[in-house]
Chains A and B, each alone.
Chain A
Amino acid sequence: EVQLVESGGGLVQPGGSLRLSCAASGFTFSSYGMSWVRQAPGKGLEWLSGISGSGGITYYADSVKGRFTTSRDNSKNTLYLQLNSLRAEDTAVYYCANEGVATKSGVFDIWGQGTMVTVSS
């Protein structure tokens, strides 16, 4: 079964750091680009970052550039998001998502269940 499972969310103080993980199974992880998307409570979806299958290319939204870092370990079939200098407005459910290939490259056809990050003192 194709599956993405996020972990690592929780309560963190403003200015703090957190690392999220996304464990993949059921597909050839290294063949696919991956992304992180978040959703603040009651709000819409916001794409944050993407990474190529090899991990050699990364992309970031302006809102998180310089604060968040995406990486992957293909030997462990795991995607990571390092969140630094966290702010209250970073409070959200964080999803990892698999990007498709060919005409679906950039399309999120597999999503994890999400992990909640709360930034509060």
Chain B
Amino acid sequence: DIQMTQSPSTLSASVGDRVTITCRASQSIRSWLAWYQQKPGKAPNLLIYRASSLESGVPSRFSGSGSGTEFTLTISNLQPDDFATYYCQQYNSYAWTFGQGTKVEIK
């Protein structure tokens, strides 16, 4: 199975900051990568698919980039609603796999 590794595991930031989360795949997944946001007690919510395509209804301060084995999720101008845990997920080949998550905390 393809292993997905996110860094950092926890990130402390302030409202208005620009934050970047990295996701690395154990082998090339081309651009078949998605990003999700999850808040406590809630199901995950899709943000980005195919590495850089913004899901409908998701604010434009979220952006994704990368291909092959290295990907990033960037949140520009961090808002109070953005404090949550973020997961990457590869869908290049079964079994689909998720990164371990990055928690974005208030500094």
Contacts of B45 in A (CB 8 A): 111
Contact with B along A20-55 (1 / 0, CB 8 A): 000000000000000100000000111100100000
Interface residues of B (CB under 8 A from A): 1, 32, 34, 36, 38, 43-46, 49-50, 53, 55, 87, 89, 91, 94-101
Q: Which of B49, B89, B95 contacts A61 (CB 8 A)?
A: B95
Given A95-B43, A114-B43, verify A44-B95 contact (CB < 8 Å).
Answer: no
Q: Please tell me if the beta carbons of B96 and A47 are within 8 angstroms of each other in the complex.
A: yes
Given A103-B49, A111-B44, A113-B43, verify A50-B94 contact (CB < 8 Å).
Answer: yes
Give the Cβ gap from B46 to chain A, nearest Cβ, in Å. Answer: 5
Q: Please tell me if the beta carbons of A107 and B49 are within 8 angstroms of each other in the complex.
A: yes
Q: Please tell me if the beta carbons of B1 and A62 are within 8 angstroms of each other in the complex.
A: yes
Q: Please tell me if the beta carbons of B43 and A103 are within 8 angstroms of each other in the complex.
A: no
Q: Please tell me if the beta carbons of B43 and A35 are within 8 angstroms of each other in the complex.
A: no
A59 to B93, CA, bound (A): 11
A24 to B55, CA, bound (A): 21
Give the Cβ gap from B11 to chain A, nearest Cβ, in Å. Answer: 15
Q: Which residue of the partner chain B has the closest CB to A4?
A: B43
Q: Which of A45, A50, A100, A105 contacts B44 (CB 8 A)?
A: A45
A80-117 at interface with B (beta carbon < 8 Å): 95, 100, 103-109, 111-114
Q: Which residue of the partner chain B has the closest CB to A99?
A: B91
User: Which of A35, A103, A114 gathers most chain B CB within 10 Å?
Assistant: A103
Contacts of A103 in B (CB 8 A): 49-50, 53
